[in-house]
């Protein structure tokens, strides 16, 4: 199960990065990206890959944690908050990619015999 979650998290991380740079606002995002933004996104992807339980709440908490580390590096706190909100807004896309990447698990049914 752990390997499936890790693969799913990796796929989700790549999907988030790809969507940000190649999605509908990709050109705008590519022009506006600064070095600390790329590092912050990389940290989010790294943390996402190492997460065992991926849910919206845990993802949002992780983004908040990573964002707080970049407040002192960024030009303004608003830039960090804006990037954090944008990363959080990609949750739906990420969760869809994770669910598609994870194989369906069949429930094991225990046979019992009556005596």
The proportion of the chain whose per-residue pLDDT surpasses 90, expressed as a percent, equals 14
56-69 and 91-101 are packed helices; what angle lies between their axes, rounded to 10 degrees?
A: 120
How many domains does the chain contain in total?
A: 1
Give the integer Cα–Cα distance in Å for 66 and 40. Answer: 7
Query: Could you tell me the residue range of the domain that residue 27 belongs to?
Result: 2-101
Give the integer Cα–Cα distance in Å for 7 and 43. Answer: 17
User: Per this entry, what is the length of the chain?
Assistant: 115
pLDDT at 17 over 90: no
Q: What does the pLDDT look like over 45-68, one tens digit per residue? A: 888 888 887 888 998 999 999 999
DSSP of 1-16, one letter per residue? -HHHHHHHHHHHHHHH
Q: Is 115 a member of any domain? A: no
Q: Is 94 a member of any domain? A: yes
């Amino acid at each position: 199960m752990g390997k499936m979650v890790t693969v799913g998290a990796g796929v989700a991380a790549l999907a988030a990065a790809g969507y940000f740079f190649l999605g509908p606002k990709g050109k705008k995002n590519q022009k506006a990206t600064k070095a600390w933004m790329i590092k912050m996104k990389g940290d989010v992807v790294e943390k996402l890959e190492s997460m065992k339980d991926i849910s919206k709440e845990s993802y949002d908490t992780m983004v908040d944690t990573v964002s707080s580390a970049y407040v002192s590096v960024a030009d303004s706190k608003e830039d960090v908050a804006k990037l954090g909100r944008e990363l959080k807004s990609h949750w739906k896309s990420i969760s869809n990619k994770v669910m598609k990447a994870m194989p369906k698990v069949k429930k094991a049914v225990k046979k019992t015999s009556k005596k």
